[in-house]
Structure 1
C-alpha cells in the first residue's frame, strides 16, 4: 500500500527572501511548514551568511526546478580588504592579514577589468561540492585540503558601487557555478592585499528578480492558507523561456497516456522542448520528435484529468 504524503497539495513558486544566519534548507523547511506543503525544494543554495532571492518550488513545480539551476545570477556583495579567512567570508577564521595600499576608485575598476568575461576559478574548500563522496566543507572542518579542478565561469558584469579605505561594494552578474567568495578573494589578491566578503545578497536568478521577494516574517503575518497560496507564482514560470504549444483534446489525451501526438509544431525543430497547454491550462513539457509530432517529456500529474 502506497504511503500517503502528509500535507497539502500546494503547487507553485515562492520567491523567498532568505534571512541571514540560516541555511537554505532550513529556510526551505520553514516555508514548507508555513504552506503545509506536501513537497518542496529550492533551486540553488545560498550560504548561511547570504540573504536574498531563493526560489522555492512547491508540489508540481519541483518537476521543473532543474531549469533554474543553470540560470545566470545577480549578487550584491561587500568585500573587506587586507584580511583573508579560511572560508572566504566573515564567518571564517582569519588566516592572513595584509596592509591595504591607498586605493582609488580607478585602481579598483582597473583590477575589475581583469575579471570580466570568462575566467577560471578554483572552488573553495568550504563548499558543498563533493570529493570521493564527501562534501568539501566536511573535509575542511577536519583540517583537510584536497585538489579541486579548475572551472571556467563567466562574469558578465561587475559594477563598482562604493569604495572605502579598506572595502568596496560590487554588484555582479555571473554564470552558474560562480563563487562570489572566490571572486572577492581573487580580486583582493590582484589588489595586493587579499580580502573576504562580509555581506552577500542575491538579487536575481534567471527570470526572477528581488521585486517579488517575500520574507518569512511577512508570510507568517498573512492571515491564512488562501492568502499564502495567492502569493505563489504559477508552475510554468520556471519554463517560460520555452516556446508554447496549444493542444486539442485528442492530442492532450494521447500525451497524457504516454503516446506521441500530432500537433502543429510551428517553428519548433525536432529535438526541441516546448511548453504544452490545453486551453490555458499548463500540462507540462513535450519534445518535438518529427514534423508535426510531439512526445511527452515531463507532465503534471493532473495532465490526464
Structure 2
C-alpha cells in the first residue's frame, strides 16, 4: 500500500455509495483519516453513485480547477413518466403513452441536445434563490423561478433501449444537471421522462475505474495505525 500524506495534500477518488450525500462521504472520510482540511470537487445527488473527488490539505486549493473540468455520466431515463424532482426522489405525477416512439425518434431527440444549450436547473437542487437552497423551497411545496444558464453537451449517446428505459452516456460541462436533461429529453419526445439511474464515470482525467471505496479508506486508516504503532 502506498504512503499517503493527507495533511500536506492528496486527491482522493471515491466511488460514492448510493443514498449517501456528498457531505456524508466527506464526513466519513474526515473521521476515518483524522484529517482537518478536506472538501469535495463537485456534488453528486444521494440517488447517484460513482466518482466523487475529495481533496485534502493544501490540495483543497485544486477543488475549483477540478470542478471546472468536463464530466461523464452513464445511466438510464424512464420515458412515459415524470416526477416533480425529475428523478426517483419524488413519486410519479404524470404518465403518458410512449408506444408510438421508434428508436429513430429517440436517437433524433438525443441529438438535438448536443452542443451549447440553455438549461433550467431543477427546483430540487442546490441552486440558491434569494440566499436559500432551491431544494429547501421545493420540499416546503413552494414554487420559485430558476433562470436558464448556458451549458455544453459534448456527447449524448443512446447506448441501449429497454423501453421504457433509455440507457445513455453523456459528456458535459460543469453545471449540467442530468435530471434537467431527463426532463427536457422527455419533453422533446412528447411523453415525459425522469432520471432513474445515474453514475458519474469521469471528471476530466480522473475516472471511476481508479476510485477507492469506503472499505479501501478504512484499510488505509488501519495500515496507517499499524505503521504508527510499529514506529513508536
TM-score w.r.t. the length of structure 2 is 0.90
- When the two chains are superposed, the root-mean-square deviation of aligned CA atoms in Å is 1.7
Q: Deviations over 1:250-271 (max 9, x none)?
A: xxxxxxxxxxxxxxxxxxxxxx
Q: Give the Cα separation in 2 of the matches to 1:118 and 1:89.
A: 23
Q: Which residue of 2 aligns with 1:149?
A: 147
- The Cα of 1:220 is off from its aligned counterpart by 1.9
Which consecutive unaligned segments of at least 5 residues does structure 1 have? 1-7, 229-305
Q: Distance in 1 between matches of 2:41 and 2:196?
A: 24
CA distance in 2, matches of 1:196, 1:189: 10
Bigger helix fraction: 2
- Partner in structure 2 of residue 46 of structure 1: 44
Map 1:172-251; keep pairs closer than 5 Å. Answer: 172-222=170-220, 223-225=222-224
Question: Secondary structure in 2 aligned to 1:14?
Answer: strand
1:58 counterpart residue number: 56
Q: Which residue of 2 aligns with 1:95?
A: 93
Q: Which has the higher contact order (CA 8 A, sep 6+)?
A: 2
- SS of the residue 2:123 aligns to: coil
For 1:132, the equivalent position in structure 2 comes to 130
Q: Deviations over 1:95-149 (max 9, x none)?
A: 2111122433222111111111011111110010111110000001111111111
State the Cα deviation string for residues 252-297 of structure 1 (Å, max 9, x = none). xxxxxxxxxxxxxxxxxxxxxxxxxxxxxxxxxxxxxxxxxxxxxx
Q: Structure 1 residues 226, 157: closer, same or farther in 2, change over 3 A?
A: farther
Q: Verify: 1:166 aligned to 2:164, yes or no.
A: yes
Distance, in Å, in 1 between the alignment partners of 2:92 and 2:8 is 45
Cα distance per residue 1:223-273 (max 9 Å; x no partner): 422799xxxxxxxxxxxxxxxxxxxxxxxxxxxxxxxxxxxxxxxxxxxxx
How many residues are aligned here? Answer: 221
Greater Rg over alpha carbons, structure = 1
CA 11–162 in structure 1, closer or farther in 2 if over 3 Å, else same: same
The runs of at least 4 consecutive aligned structure 1 residues that moved more than 4 Å come to: none
TM-score by length of 1: 0.69
3-state SS of paired residue (1:159):
strand
Residue 218 of structure 1: how far off its partner (Å): 2.7
Q: Distance in 1 between matches of 2:17 and 2:226?
A: 21
Give SS of 2:26's match.
helix
Question: Mind listing any 5+ residue stretches in structure 2 that lack a counterpart?
Answer: 1-5, 228-232
Cα distance between partner residues in 1 of 2:226 and 2:18: 25
Q: Which residue of 1 aligns with 2:65?
A: 67
Which stretch has the larger CA shift, 8-17 or 202-211? Answer: 8-17
Given that 1:77 and 1:171 are in contact with CA atoms closer than 8 Å, whether structure 2 keeps it comes out as yes
